[in-house]
């Protein structure tokens, strides 16, 4: 009976770890259009897309799955002019949304999981 419980717990863990978030949302409250990338600490980078100034972009989170197991990920925003900046490092939630809210001053930008 104990063996059956241990097996069920392991299977449940595998299912939860492969689920991943459903979307990545970028809320761009800045004056610049940005190109957004998701990156791993290893340096691997994948382009998500472009988000216009004062608008919202929604991208499928399947690209985060490509970086799974890398010890987390972070988002990078490259404006048309000026320096690129990045989010805090985060671990993908088991489901839901990853939301990055961007402001003109990158220090005020933040990431949240919903």
* Residue 43: predicted pLDDT: 84
> Beta strand pairing status for 45-51 and 85-86?
unpaired
pLDDT tens for each residue of 47-71: 999 999 999 999 987 766 656 555 7
**Cα separation, 111 vs 90, whole angstroms:** 8
Higher pLDDT, residue 6 or 83? 83
**Cα separation, 70 vs 112, whole angstroms:** 19
Enclosing H/E stretch for 64? helix 62-65
């Amino acid at each position: 009976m104990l063996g059956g419980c241990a097996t069920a717990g392991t299977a449940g863990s595998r299912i939860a770890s492969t689920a991943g978030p459903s979307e990545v949302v970028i809320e761009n409250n800045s004056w610049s259009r940005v190109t957004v990338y998701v990156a791993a600490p290893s340096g691997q980078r994948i382009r998500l897309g472009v988000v216009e100034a004062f608008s919202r972009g929604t991208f499928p989170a399947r690209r985060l799955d490509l970086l799974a197991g890398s010890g987390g990920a972070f988002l990078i925003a490259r404006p048309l002019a000026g320096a690129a900046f990045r989010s805090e490092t985060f671990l993908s939630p088991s489901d839901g949304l990853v939301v990055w809210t961007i402001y003109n001053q990158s220090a005020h930008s933040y990431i949240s999981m919903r």
